[in-house]
Structure 1
Amino acid sequence: MALTLYVDTARWRAHHKHVQEQFPGLVPVCKGNGYGFGHERLAEEATRLGSDVLAVGTTYEAARIKDWFGGDLLVLTPYRRGEEPVPLPDRVIRSVSSIDGVYGLVGARVVIEVMSSMKRHGVSEQELAQLHAAIENVRLEGFAIHLPLDRTDGSDAVEEVIGWMDRLRAARLPLHTMFVSHLKAEELARLQQQFPQTRFRARIGTRLWLGDHDATQYSGAVLDVTRVAKGDRFGYRQQKAASDGFLVVVAGGTSHGVGLEAPKALHGVMPRAKGVARAGLATVNRNLSPFVWGGKQRWFAEPPHMQVSILFVPSDAPEPKVGDELVAHLRHTTTQFDRIVDR
């Protein structure tokens, strides 16, 4: 009995091809937990797409995935002097976001990140003059810019990239390749048309692997069902059942990522009101689970355990049976499955 990730493989791969057609020169991204699919699986899918470069998050991920992908590996986390050395093959390309970092990678293949409106990391405009000397002792694979997802100020992503292209050109730095993140297909096409001598390569993860929500589905198997009456005590904390119903033990607990949620940026009155309501319910031990039964998301009976969750299903709903599977609305990037099933 398991928490299973079901994949409509033909549909999933058709989406990959569609994204690849929209973004010529696409660089797939495989980082974290492999977007819920695992590094090995995404390395195989990138190979199937014919990708010559696969982007990973860290040097540790590059070390793990190097035996699964035969092309170049682009490490997205910028190099810092003093970091733990990790043995890597020459086909690994390091990202660098500082002049000092470039000097620290003599002989290495590097991509230099410039500071975008994200203001996360990157070489500033004032530092460009120092790059000429710094890049003499590295193998420059190109520049990169990581753009924000939302532009609440109404600014134009293309104009931001153009601004950097103009600065790099004015500094007489090589512009053969520019790696970009979070651009739309039409925006990428605009840039390619305006700068035909530069190859723009979109680094894409979420849109590529998770863009077709209906191609994948998590499901947790029912392990046990126990009927309870109002007032019966149950669980680790011996709480009382609020009404008659069923305690349903389903595969999927904290070790799988069930019950874990990343903070969200809330915009507008309604989303904020819902957030306040959820917080209020949590103070009285009412937490909605990701599991669906009888057409509704069901409440946790108590906080999820390490490998299972206990749900409360009221008596007016169909009684689950051992072996049934409950669809689970889980976030791919925080979920670890027991098994993956292609169908």
Structure 2
Amino acid sequence: MALTLYVDTDRWRAHQRSVAADFPELVPVCKGNGYGFGHDRLAEEIKLLGTDTLAVGTTYEAAAMKDRFAGDLLVLTPYRRTEEPVPLPYRVVRSASSVDGVYGLHGARVVVEVMSSMKRHGVTGSDLGKLRAAIEDVQLEGFAIHLPLDRTDGTDAVEEVIGWMDRLRAARLPLDTMFVSHLSSVELARLRQQFPQTRFRARIGTRLWLGDHDATEYRGEVLDVTPVVRGDRFGYRQQKASGDGWLAVVSGGTSHGVGLEAPKALHGMTSRAKGVARAGLATVNRNLSPYVWDGKQRWFAEPPHMQVSIVFIPAEAQEPKVGDEMKAILRHTTTQPDRVVDR
């Protein structure tokens, strides 16, 4: 009675090793739900990789990971003076995205984030003069730049980093270490060649844990199967069955993240048309489930419940049986499986 994440362990770890080989001095990222695997499991994998630093999202995650990982912990969320204090050891490195944030971290180990074309947070070029005085009160561990995933304007990610390296050098700020996100190994090699005295460290989460899509698979267990004919009423809202077939009760509901979907950026007319079509179907209670049966993704019979979903299987498909498992196409970062099984 479980929503299970199955892992082809050898393949998954081989992918991790290939990423680590492509990105020397890798900083793995473990945040949120642990990319579907959980923090305990990723802490074990990071130990196998042998990295000395782990990046987490928040101070609360750092507090939870400090007993699981013995190396340095880099908190990615920038420090704010108004934040709730969380007791953390000195090996925790804080991020700062403002001069005031650096001053507020007196005596701490600090990475200063610069403002990239993401325009999310970071110090700007006009802050650099004041920043030089502020870093005298902290142990500066380096600078960081978080780059966008897509560059629709045709600009070069490496050139953006070089621009910041030039600004920092002109401001007479130390360029010993630069943490980067969303660069390819080829782009990183270009930077290392141009700035041989700087240590570039790639912070990687999604590509490391989820880069090999075929290494993992979610499956929900079929708990009950009820035959229905067209017009039969069922469920909380007593809707009518749209045709002959079966109602399959499958493990996985809203508490697991089933039925939850993050907003997506739509590019081009085709993807926009599909979005409009999905919205139109939803208005008549037609929502595609993540569950795949007999080679096709099947429709929810009704909105998912807290721990199970009811899926309509039409009569022309193979009849599901109690104990069968249905593949589920789920987003790792929003899914909480009941268990992770290695195979």
Q: Same fold (TM over 0.5)?
A: yes
SS of residue in 2 equivalent to 1:30: coil
CA distance in 2, matches of 1:90, 1:248: 52
Task: List structure 1 segments (4+ residues) > 3 angstroms apart after TM superposition.
Answer: none
Q: Which amino acid aligns with 2:162?
A: I
Q: Tell me by how many angstroms 1:47 deviates.
A: 1.0
1:106 match: 106
Q: Tell me by how many angstroms 1:254 deviates.
A: 0.2
Give the TM-score of the pair, scaled to structure 2: 1.00
SS of residue in 1 equivalent to 2:141: strand
1:316 match: 316
For these two proteins, the number of residue pairs brought into alignment is 343
SS of residue in 2 equivalent to 1:74: strand
CA RMSD, Structure 1 to Structure 2 (Å): 0.5
1:128 match: 128
Question: What is the correspondence of 1:34-45 to structure 2 with a 5 Å cutoff?
Answer: 34-45=34-45
Residue by residue over 1:26-81, the C-alpha shift from the partner in whole angstroms, topping out at 9 and shown as x without a partner, is 00000110011111111111111001000000000000111111100000000000
CA distance in 1, matches of 2:304, 2:243: 20
1:76 match: 76
Q: Tell me by how many angstroms 1:132 deviates.
A: 1.5
Does residue 260 of structure 1 match 2:257? no
Q: Which amino acid aligns with 2:337?
A: F
Any gaps of 5 or more consecutive residues in structure 2? none
SS of residue in 2 equivalent to 1:76: strand
1:296 match: 296
Question: What is the correspondence of 1:43-82 to structure 2 with a 5 Å cutoff?
Answer: 43-82=43-82
SS of residue in 2 equivalent to 1:101: helix
Does residue 334 of structure 1 match 2:334? yes
SS of residue in 2 equivalent to 1:249: strand
Q: Tell me by how many angstroms 1:86 deviates.
A: 0.3
Give the TM-score of the pair, scaled to structure 1: 1.00
Question: What is the correspondence of 1:194-205 to structure 2 with a 5 Å cutoff?
Answer: 194-205=194-205
Q: Which amino acid aligns with 2:318?
A: P
Q: Tell me by how many angstroms 1:133 deviates.
A: 1.0
CA distance in 2, matches of 1:296, 1:66: 44
Q: Which amino acid aligns with 2:300?
A: F
SS of residue in 1 equivalent to 2:54: strand
Q: Tell me by how many angstroms 1:131 deviates.
A: 1.2
CA distance in 2, matches of 1:270, 1:229: 35
1:215 match: 215
Q: Tell me by how many angstroms 1:216 deviates.
A: 0.2
Q: Tell me by how many angstroms 1:204 deviates.
A: 0.3
Q: Which amino acid aligns with 2:282?
A: A
Does residue 234 of structure 1 match 2:240? no
Q: Tell me by how many angstroms 1:104 deviates.
A: 0.3
Any gaps of 5 or more consecutive residues in structure 1? none
Question: What is the correspondence of 1:153-232 to structure 2 with a 5 Å cutoff?
Answer: 153-232=153-232
SS of residue in 1 equivalent to 2:131: helix
CA distance in 1, matches of 2:290, 2:179: 36
Q: Tell me by how many angstroms 1:173 deviates.
A: 0.5
1:13 match: 13
CA distance in 2, matches of 1:59, 1:236: 41
SS of residue in 2 equivalent to 1:247: strand
Q: Which amino acid aligns with 1:330?
A: L
Q: Tell me by how many angstroms 1:291 deviates.
A: 0.2
Q: Which amino acid aligns with 1:168?
A: L
Q: Tell me by how many angstroms 1:82 deviates.
A: 1.6
CA distance in 1, matches of 2:231, 2:266: 38
Q: Tell me by how many angstroms 1:261 deviates.
A: 0.2
Q: Tell me by how many angstroms 1:159 deviates.
A: 0.3
Q: Which shows bigger deviation, 40-49 or 192-201?
A: 40-49
